[in-house]
Amino acid sequence: MTIDPNAKMPETQNGTEVYNTDPLTVKSHYEIDYIHSYAQDSEFFRALGKKKLMGSRCKKCGYKYATPRGHCMMCGAETEWFELPNEGKVHSFTTCYFGSEEFLPETPFNLVMVEFEGVDSLFMSRLIGASQEDIYVGMKVKAKFKRIQKFSPTDVYFVPAGDK
Amino acid sequence: MKDKSKNVYMVSGGVTKFAKATPEMDFRLRVKKAFDYAMDDINMPLSEIDGSVASYFSDHFQRQLMAGIMVQDYLGLTPKPSKRIEGGGATGGLAFQTGYEEIASGRMDTCAVFGFESMSHVNTWKGNEFIALASDTNFDYPVGGFYTGYYAMMAVRHMHEFGTTVEQLAKVSIKNHKNAKHNPYSQSPMDLTVDMVRNSPMVSYPLTRLDVCTMSDGAAVAILASEEKAFELTDHPVLIKSIGTGTDTMRLSDRPFGKVPLLPNEKESDYRDLKYPGIHSFRAGRTAAIEAYKGAGITDPLEELDVIELHDAYTSSEIQTYEDLGLCKYGEGGKFIEEGKSELNGKVAVNPSGGLLACGHPVGATGIMQSVFMFWQLQHTISKHFKDDYLQVNNAKRGLIHSHAGTGTYVTATVMEAV
Ligand SMILES: [Zn+2]
């Protein structure tokens, strides 16, 4: 046992960034790496590397999801994977001139909701190769896949399908 | 459901003026100010509060978990019961309804519902990132998560489906910012023109800066009470007649293309070719309205409601909400604003306070703020609290408050009545 009334807490030289003194306002930094599992959605992300866009279909009622989900929202049954067509149509769109901090450097960018023939739900994606004035509801678009897979939903994106 | 439960009243309320940043006060002090305003208005001692509900949306903004109990503690309400309610943009509406349930169940005789959000701790674009995390982080957020972008796609589809115009959207902004000129609690009162709205910076086509509300710091408090207690505390309580809540899929992409759930004033033939809700309308808003109207015995909302405070985070969502609430048929929302039906002296005053567009949207406080403005409207005390009676809706007897989360993921509708 050591009793030391002169004990001193060690100090470091890294300072605190102060924005304002009244009220006292300081910088507080926070950052974290998550171990994020795609779990039952994993197959969708793996398939993008094989240039395949996978949706899911209810084994019981047959409802088809362009954005896959493990279980059906209509009847609760399990779904199975199926490959979506490569071409679809713009169901709706926007061009973002501002955005969340993470995507701010990418602005302006187009977001589209894509509809596929015979599929019951939609798929959200980026559309490139067309500016805001060129995009319209009903426009034909086709899926393209990034060569370097990042295991992100942006491994797939859409471009105008052209006159076909 | 309502039959076996007790009548619930709102007996007082308080709001802090929402602002972009208020670093001189933290969230606890902001709530304390709104709380003291409400308590002092009816000379209610702290000992009369049986418990509370805390309303705030995001732990990210402050990086302070359990902020709800910190407010409970600061107000001097420990060791009384309290819980935190969270549901995105509808957090305030849901918390208000939870307070209602605490009284209706007979558990409490009085309940303080306090809402707050401190969004100024991060910059606007980081804040937008935190808000966008309230979208599916597997499929939606990484694509370019941005709530204004999601709402813009819904607005584009509404325009495609029904012929709604950007000028009609702008008229909502003009109306709400104009009303705000007489609300001392508002943040951006101003006179606007369609050109000014359209020429302000484009955020996400077709929504410009003036079509979108602002992140803010703020707090609001509603004090609720049982019938017996309410009349003990004040001569002018306001009855919370009924509550309604709806939900929808987290992902916009999952919204089905089915049939419109009808209100009593609608027929199936009104919507023969409409695929519903798709991404043009809010099924959760309609679901909430159906439940709330049933509880209040409302069969013709436009005729039976005098004042509405609804969640106009975007001008487009105010127009979509006219339709969800059955103030007009689906597709007629654009015309509804164009014809001035939602003006202060129109058919039904919608957002006489200036709404989220002009007051700001400190998420957890917003739905409670609406309840406080509605309470003052139905109490006919707007002149007392605003020091200006311009916004007092004449003969306001029955009102509805509407709170809305996600892309219409949780929506609440609550009917309040003067007594
Ligand atoms: Zn199914």
Model pLDDT for residues A121-146, shown as the tens digit of each residue:
999 999 999 999 999 999 999 999 99
pLDDT category at A1 given cuts 50, 70, 90 is confident
Both tokens of residue B75?
Answer: 């107000």
Place of tokens 């009676």: B389
CB contact under 8 A, B129 and A124: no
**What is the spatial order of strands in the sheet that B398-404 belongs to?**
B82-85, B51-55, B110-118, B217-226, B8-15, B238-247, B410-418, B398-404, B307-309, B349-350
Beta bridge partners of B46: none
> Which residues of chain A make contact with B22, given a CB cutoff of 8 A?
none
CB contact under 8 A, A94 and B156: yes
Q: What angle do CA B178, B184, B188 make, to 5 degrees?
A: 45
Specify the CATH superfamily of domain B4-118. Answer: Thiolase/Chalcone synthase (3.40.47.10)
Q: Cα(B226)–Cα(B233) distance, rounded to whole angstroms? A: 10
How many domains does the structure of chain A reveal? 1
Q: Cα(B13)–Cα(B36) distance, rounded to whole angstroms? A: 9
Which letter does DSSP use for residue A66 in this model? S
CB contact under 8 A, A124 and B140: yes
Both tokens of residue B89?
Answer: 């943009």
CB contact under 8 A, A99 and B125: yes
B406 CA to middle of ligand 1, Å? 25
Give the E-state strand segments of B251-344 in sequence order.
Answer: 257-258, 276-277, 307-309
Beta bridge partners of A152: none
Backbone angles phi, psi at B299, to 5 degrees: -115, -20
Count CA within 13 A, CB hemisphere, residue B121: 21
* Residue B283 CB partners (closer than 8 Å, separation 6+): B246, B248, B255, B261, B276, B277, B408
Torsion (CA) B296, B300, B305, B310 in degrees, nearest 10: 90
In this complex, which of A38, A100, A122 lies closest to B146 when CB atoms are compared?
A100
Nearest CA in chain A to B131: A100
In this complex, which of A36, A92, A123 lies closest to B153 when CB atoms are compared?
A92
Mutate to test the interface with B, among A41, A63, A100 (most CBs of B within 10 A): A100
> Which residues of chain B make contact with A125, given a CB cutoff of 8 A?
143
Is A5 inside a domain boundary? no
Give the E-state strand segments of B270-390 in sequence order.
Answer: 276-277, 307-309, 349-350
pLDDT at B5: 74
Where in the sequence is the domain holding A57, given as residue range(s)? 39-160
> Which residues of chain A make contact with B160, given a CB cutoff of 8 A?
92, 137
Count CA within 13 A, CB hemisphere, residue A93: 25
Place of tokens 């302070």: B64
SS3 A36: coil
A75 CA to middle of ligand 1, Å? 4
pLDDT at A16 over 50: yes
Is A103 inside a domain boundary? yes
Mutate to test the interface with A, among B118, B126, B146 (most CBs of A within 10 A): B146
Q: Tell me the domain boundaries of chain B.
A: 4-118
> Which residues of chain A make contact with B156, given a CB cutoff of 8 A?
92-94, 137
Question: Is the ipTM beyond the 0.85 threshold?
Answer: yes
Residue type present at position B28: R
Nearest CA in chain A to B275: A120
Q: Cα(B15)–Cα(A72) distance, rounded to whole angstroms? A: 43
Residue pLDDT tens, chain B, 419 long: 445 679 999 999 999 999 988 899 999 999 999 999 999 999 999 999 999 999 999 999 999 999 999 999 999 999 999 999 999 999 999 999 999 999 999 999 999 999 999 999 999 999 999 999 999 999 999 999 999 999 999 999 999 999 999 999 999 999 999 999 999 999 999 999 999 999 999 999 999 999 999 999 999 999 999 999 999 999 999 999 999 999 999 999 999 999 999 999 999 999 999 999 999 999 999 999 999 999 999 999 999 999 999 999 999 999 999 999 999 999 999 999 999 999 999 999 999 999 999 999 999 999 999 999 999 999 999 999 999 999 999 999 999 999 999 999 999 999 999 99
Mutate to test the interface with B, among A41, A61, A69, A94 (most CBs of B within 10 A): A94
Q: What angle do CA B346, B348, B351 make, to 5 degrees?
A: 100
CB contact under 8 A, A126 and B143: yes
> Which residues of chain A make contact with B24, given a CB cutoff of 8 A?
23
